[in-house]
Amino acid sequence: MQTKATVLIIEDEENIADFIATSLKAQEYKAVSTRLGKEGLALAASLCPDLILLDLGLPDLDGMEVIRKVREWSGMPIIVLSARNQEKEKVEALDLGADDYITKPVGSPELMARIRTALRHGAASGQTKAENVFITGGLQLDFGKRAVRVNGEEVHLTQVEYKIVAFLAANAGRVVTYDAIISHVWGPYMDDNNRILRVNMANIRRKLEQNPAEPRYIHTEIGVGYRMAEEE
């Protein structure tokens, strides 16, 4: 049997850390836990885990500091474990280089899905994408031709709309912050007011989604950003 990935859990709430470790081991991942940020940093360097699950409120270090330190030397995927209603914290973590976040309390299927996505991105980073087409459900995006189809029908997007959709598709399964989208599409000097992004998103959803109020392809992460559905 193939060895599964090693996951480092940095979380001081013992019941949460135990629950996550048990869920991971049930899926044959290797799990290593610590309740301290400093020990987490040491383990990140010595174990070179495939993924870090990181609580932001640690007894010795701010979790943000852990992200910053790891990012000085490694692009290993980091998923932040965050409390509900902490949108600012989630945005800050993502902007520092975290790959995703999971809102506590953590459910096992959600956790495993996010871990698989982050590991896939981790393994794919640094490689050129072999296939040039993104497909999820009835949505198809051809990066080479810059063509978007929904249920086989070509959809006409403006230049800006296409850039937004392509950026989200390239990061499918992961939340992308408003600021990250704005600076990717309009450049770093654009005002970080996200009204223009919301207007574009409303137009995109009208074109792509059967029911724009209940999107299937591009999901809103309230107060944080957008998430394209995972590729199929």
**Are the C-beta atoms of 178 and 225 separated by less than 8 Å?**
yes
Q: Rounded to the nearest whole angstrom, what is the least distance from the CB of residue 15 to Ca ion in the complex?
A: 11
Comparison of 21 and 197: residue with beta carbon closer to Ca ion = 21
Comparison of 61 and 190: residue with beta carbon closer to Ca ion = 61
Q: Rounded to the nearest whole angstrom, what is the least distance from the CB of residue 80 to Ca ion in the complex?
A: 11
Q: Is 147 helix (H, G, I), strand (E, B) or coil?
A: strand
Closest residue to Ca ion, judged by C-beta, is: 57
Comparison of 57 and 212: residue with beta carbon closer to Ca ion = 57
Comparison of 57 and 97: residue with beta carbon closer to Ca ion = 57
Comparison of 12 and 179: residue with beta carbon closer to Ca ion = 12
**Are the C-beta atoms of 5 and 29 separated by less than 8 Å?**
yes
Distance CA 111, CA 56 (A): 17
Q: Which of 106, 126, 124 is nearest to 114 (CA)?
A: 106
Q: Which of 105, 98, 13, 88 is nearest to 58 (CA)?
A: 13
Q: Rounded to the nearest whole angstrom, what is the least distance from the CB of residue 64 to Ca ion in the complex?
A: 13
Q: Which residues pair with 100 in a beta bridge?
A: 79
Q: Rounded to the nearest whole angstrom, what is the least distance from the CB of residue 16 to Ca ion in the complex?
A: 8
Q: Rounded to the nearest whole angstrom, what is the least distance from the CB of residue 174 to Ca ion in the complex?
A: 23
Q: Rounded to the nearest whole angstrom, what is the least distance from the CB of residue 4 to Ca ion in the complex?
A: 26
Tokens 């978007």, residue located: 148
Tokens of 18: 């135990």
**Are the C-beta atoms of 90 and 64 separated by less than 8 Å?**
no
Comparison of 57 and 138: residue with beta carbon closer to Ca ion = 57
Binding site for Ca ion (CB under 5 A): 12, 55, 57
Single-letter amino acid code for the residue at 89: E
Distance CA 182, CA 49 (A): 32
Q: Is 29 helix (H, G, I), strand (E, B) or coil?
A: coil
